[in-house]
A and B are shown apart, each in its own frame.
Chain A
Amino acid sequence: MSAIKRLFGIVWTLMGVGIIPLVIMQAMKEIAAKPSEENWIFWSIVIVVLMPIISFSLITFGVFALKGEYDVIA
């Protein structure tokens, strides 16, 4: 089980890192296609609020998992 937990640690870290360019590229594409106020508001919320939370928490969690910090949960 510990090996699976550690292995998934790589998955969470990669997801946390990968989400950043994906979201930014999608935002740029959609805003360029339609630079409306609603597009700006929506992508601002996603980029400023949601993405950092998801990325930071997934990367930190993934690194902890990879290091075996979650091998034994109290």
Chain B
Amino acid sequence: MAQNVTNVSQTEEVSSTRRVIAASSVGTLIEWYDFYIFGTLAKIISEQFFPKDNPTAALLATLATFAAGFVIRPFGALFFGRLGDLIGRKYTFLVTLVIMGGSTFAIGLVPGYKTIGFFAPAIVFVLRLLQGLALGGEYGGAATYVAEHSPAGQRGFWTSFIQTTATLGLFLALGVILIVRQTLGVETFSDWGWRIPFLLSALLVGVSVFIRMKMSESPMFVKMKKEGKTSANPLAESFKQKDNLKMVLIALLGATAGQGVVWYTGQFYALSFLQNTCNVEFVQSNMIISIALLIGTPFFVVFGALSDKIGRKYIMMAGMLIAVLSYGPLYNSMYDNANLKNKIEIVEKTTVETKEAVKGTDNITTTVTKKTFTDGTTYKETQKLTVPLDEAKKAELAAAGKLKPETKKETTLSDSIKNKMIGIVLIQVIFVTMVYGPIAAFLVEIFPTRIRYTSMSLPYHIGNGVFGGLVPLIATRLVEASKEPGYSNPLTNAINSFTGHIGTPAGQVDPLAGLMYPILIASVSFIIGMLYISNKTNNMDVE
């Protein structure tokens, strides 16, 4: 009889934990979705909201806005973390959800630069900052809330479901964008269809708010509040007391910084590399990433659960070390697989079509070149030259060297190479799951309940948001810098000497240059983590 009562009680406990996980995860997933559609649509947003005169500046401006979204996250972590430690986890992460949903929806409504001029990028910038603030408050709340509901000994397993949400949010963002783009067509999507994924957020957030309203407050927080043990000043307690500051620093430098760069390299930089360096066609590149993410996602739970058995430290450190050692060969292989110079062209299948049209005051010449290769890969190059009909204007542009065609290169890989690419990205996603799966449990366990929300949020968002979020910006910059004369990259040199390549000729881009930043940060983080982090599993008293 007593055994039955125990079993019923255990079943109820597991069922209750599952409800908590589901409700927390759905909300966090939607927040990540909201955050990532902006980054995924960076190119279109730059065309819509930033002056077109200089496409690089426009893209960089978008990336800066994107980075601003990340850079502001630590401030959100401080602001909402403090609130969460003062008034409770539940209401705080309800507020963050509403702010995130509201700003995402509003981005979908902002008129373009052509309509309202400078106000367009200014409004988008502010909304992006709000997104960053909200995200900064969300994750720590969700991880803390779930950890405080989880039974001891299973914290890695249960919190790993929260860890899946960032990747699933990216997957959802890519999926929605692809579906809307395919349904509306490329032109309509670029014109106004890109707004739909933003507007859809209102619906998703509405559902999530409804679910979260029904959740109860964290039992540990309720107990602590009843006993009057909540912190009066969580910020001061977290960062002015040496014992806590020590742990904040170790969490940042030994774990979250390395985790952040591995996370962004394996997912975002991989996508950017496929699209911008390998010129893989938009839909196919997104499909490659999406499939790899989907296959890799269960490994968050695998490594989260494993960390309950063998400890958090060695799984995270192994992920960082393997990533550092293998990024060079992996990205080199991606580049080689997509490089048209390594393929044999079927010359008789090559077609060149030229069309001329007058649009407004301009004469537009469009030249489309299509090539097919023996392995089934196809290549399409579209050159669009816009020349003013007015001769004086034409001469002026020619003198300024601005009469250059816009070139768009699209490579559609054969199925076998596409599958190889999925495999290579999947390997990187596995590294992501190793460093990211156990980290929520690791963070909640090193800080006490009274200041946990504040203390864990800051290192997480600095590591993930600043160190990780800047990967696209810094990596793009490093690739650009590789064109300069005298440029030398030890990583590329090592790979070239190993594979027999002849190196990057002066003036050409070194495709691996962007990897130096994540490799450097992850290496330092690995050394600090190995030296200073202990490998305790769940021995730390969460209460």
Contact = CB atoms under 8 A, between A and B. Distances in A.
Contact of A41 (B61, B71, B252, B467): B61
A61 B253 contact: yes
Interface residues of A, number: 25
B531 A42 contact: no
B95 interface: no
Nearest to B242: A69
Interface in A1-35: 4-5, 8, 12, 15
A38 B56 contact: yes
A70 B470 contact: no
A42 B481 CA distance: 12
B249 A42 contact: no
Nearest to A44: B64
B534 A73 contact: yes
A65 B473 contact: no
Query: Chain A's interface: helix, strand, loop or mixed, by majority?
Result: helix
A57 B253 contact: yes
B114 interface: no
Interface in B509-539: 524, 527-528, 531-534
B422 interface: no
A2 B528 CA distance: 13
Contact of B60 (A4, A42, A53, A73): A42
A70 B253 CA distance: 13
A38 B252 contact: no
A50 interface: yes
Nearest to A43: B477
A50 B470 contact: yes
Given A41-B61, A45-B64, A53-B466, A61 B249 contact: yes
Contacts of A4: 531
A74 to B, nearest CB: 8
B444 to A, nearest CB: 15
Nearest to B535: A73
Contacts of A65: 532
B67 interface: yes
Contacts, number: 60
Given A45-B64, A53-B462, A5 B531 contact: yes
Contacts of B246: 64, 69-70
Interface string A40-74: 01100110011001000110110011000110011
Contacts of A53: 462, 466
Contact of A57 (B64, B242, B252, B540): B252
Contact of A60 (B60, B61, B245): B245
A37 B245 CA distance: 37
A65 B527 CA distance: 13
Interface residues on B, range: 20 to 34
B389 interface: no
Contacts of B466: 49-50, 53
A67 to B, nearest CB: 10
A65 B540 CA distance: 22
Nearest to B71: A49
Contacts of B252: 57
Nearest to A45: B67
Contacts of A49: 67, 71, 466, 470
Contact of A42 (B54, B477, B540): B477
B142 to A, nearest CB: 24
Nearest to A69: B246
A53 B74 CA distance: 11
Given A50-B466, A53-B462, A60-B249, A42 B532 contact: no
A29 B245 CA distance: 36
B57 interface: yes
Interface string B40-83: 00000000000000101100110010010001000000000000
Nearest to A37: B57
A73 B533 contact: yes
A5 B524 CA distance: 14
A46 B478 CA distance: 13
Given A45-B470, A61-B253, A73 B532 contact: yes
Nearest to A33: B484
A64 B531 contact: no
B249 A8 contact: no
Contacts of B528: 12, 61
A30 B70 CA distance: 25
A8 B71 contact: no
Given A42-B60, A42-B477, A61-B250, 19 more contacts: A5-B531, A12-B253, A12-B528, A36-B57, A38-B57, A38-B60, A41-B60, A41-B61, A45-B71, A45-B470, A46-B474, A49-B67, A53-B462, A57-B249, A57-B253, A60-B245, A61-B249, A69-B246, A70-B246
23 contacts: A5-B531, A37-B54, A37-B57, A38-B57, A41-B60, A42-B60, A42-B473, A42-B477, A45-B473, A46-B474, A50-B467, A50-B470, A57-B249, A57-B253, A58-B253, A61-B249, A61-B253, A64-B246, A69-B246, A70-B532, A73-B250, A73-B533, A73-B534
